[in-house]
Amino acid sequence: MKKEKLNKKKKLLLIGLGMAATGLLSYFGWEYYKKRRNKSEDDANDSSFDTAATIPPQKSTFTDFLTPKQIANDDFPLKKGSKGAKVKVLQDALIAKNGKAILPKYGADGSFGTEMTAALKKLNLPDAIDESTYNVIVQSASSFFDASAIAKSLYKDAVNKNISGVIGALKSMRNKGDYSAVSNEFKKYLLRGVSQTLVNGLLGSFSDENQKQQIRLEFSRMGLKYDGVKWSLSGLDGFKVITTQPTIIWRTPSEGAKVPAKMILGTEVAQRGEFTLFENNGKNFIVKTTTIQYL
């Protein structure tokens, strides 16, 4: 009997110790998680890929770099009811190749309506445009690039705060040469009473930071360079990003890779808050700006 009581006491003691240990492990696990989350940048000391890494909480996050869709139905195939930047680029291409009479009433308004359907029918094109057909139409119209018309469209959209129209027009510009041609025409208009370059005119017309970032990314795509103070036509060549200390780079919000100091990461694309977006081998990544410098 005494032996049974003794064994029972031991079992209770072991259970109690087990529960206490579990509680301590949970506590220290939580403390470790918080510490890792808050100091993950400081703990990065090798180049191994860590898919379990968690993005440190920041005011600006990876998703801030992702260009948001203007409107939810701006996806392929483009059809009646679609709206957004892709529709406007398609309409601009049709007008450039066939004249304004092809869309006489609404023009390139970014809305796929009855007039757009009629125009496609008139040109013997399908009433639903897939991505391949879209690329053929847009590329075939590239030789009809009209800097004056694009500048006029951008001016009107800037005055009316039409970000969808602005992005659509910018997407029709392929490189720095197109930018220069359009900017020279754009300076003929007085925006807010002043003649301005295309960069200053468009960025000064929108106060929403997400909209500004969409415009910046289009300028970067054309090859313009932003040094933190001003934009230039020097392009992105030679502006390489290199780490000054061990840090973490992010490909998606849940995929991070630890990299050491003095590693060349790639070419800068843009800056957003505390992060820098850079390109490496055709893919975009972000890194904390305070951990890099430029070659």
Query: In this predicted structure, what is the pLDDT of residue 233?
Result: 66
Query: In this predicted structure, what is the pLDDT of residue 31?
Result: 46
Residue 44 scores a pLDDT above 60: no
Share of the chain above pLDDT 90, in %: 22
Whether CATH 2.40.10 fits 41-64+238-295: no
Residue 286 scores a pLDDT above 70: yes
pLDDT band at 78 (very low <50, low <70, confident <90, very high): very high
Phi, psi of 248, deg, nearest 5 = -125, 135
pLDDT per position as a tens digit, 118-175: 999 988 889 999 888 888 788 777 666 788 888 999 999 999 999 988 998 898 887 8
Residue 22 scores a pLDDT above 50: no
The letter for the amino acid at 26 is: S
CATH of domain 145-232: 1.10.220
pLDDT per position as a tens digit, 239-283: 577 888 999 998 887 788 898 988 888 877 776 668 888 888 778
Q: Are 74 and 85 in contact (CB under 8 A)?
A: yes
State whether residue 146 is helix, strand or coil.
coil
Residue 34 scores a pLDDT above 80: no
Query: In this predicted structure, what is the pLDDT of residue 117?
Result: 94
Query: In this predicted structure, what is the pLDDT of residue 186?
Result: 93
> Which residue intervals of the chain are DSSP H helices?
2-43, 85-98, 114-122, 131-140, 147-159, 163-171, 176-186, 198-203, 209-222
Query: In this predicted structure, what is the pLDDT of residue 234?
Result: 54
pLDDT band at 24 (very low <50, low <70, confident <90, very high): very low
Least confidently predicted of 25-39, 94-108, 110-124, 150-164? 25-39
Where does CATH 1.10.220 sit in the chain? Answer: 145-232
Where does CATH 2.30.30 sit in the chain? Answer: 41-64+238-295
Q: Which residue has the higher pLDDT, 52 or 81?
A: 81
Task: Tell me the pLDDT of the chain averaged across its residues.
Answer: 74
Q: How many CA atoms lie within 13 A of 158 on its CB side?
A: 25
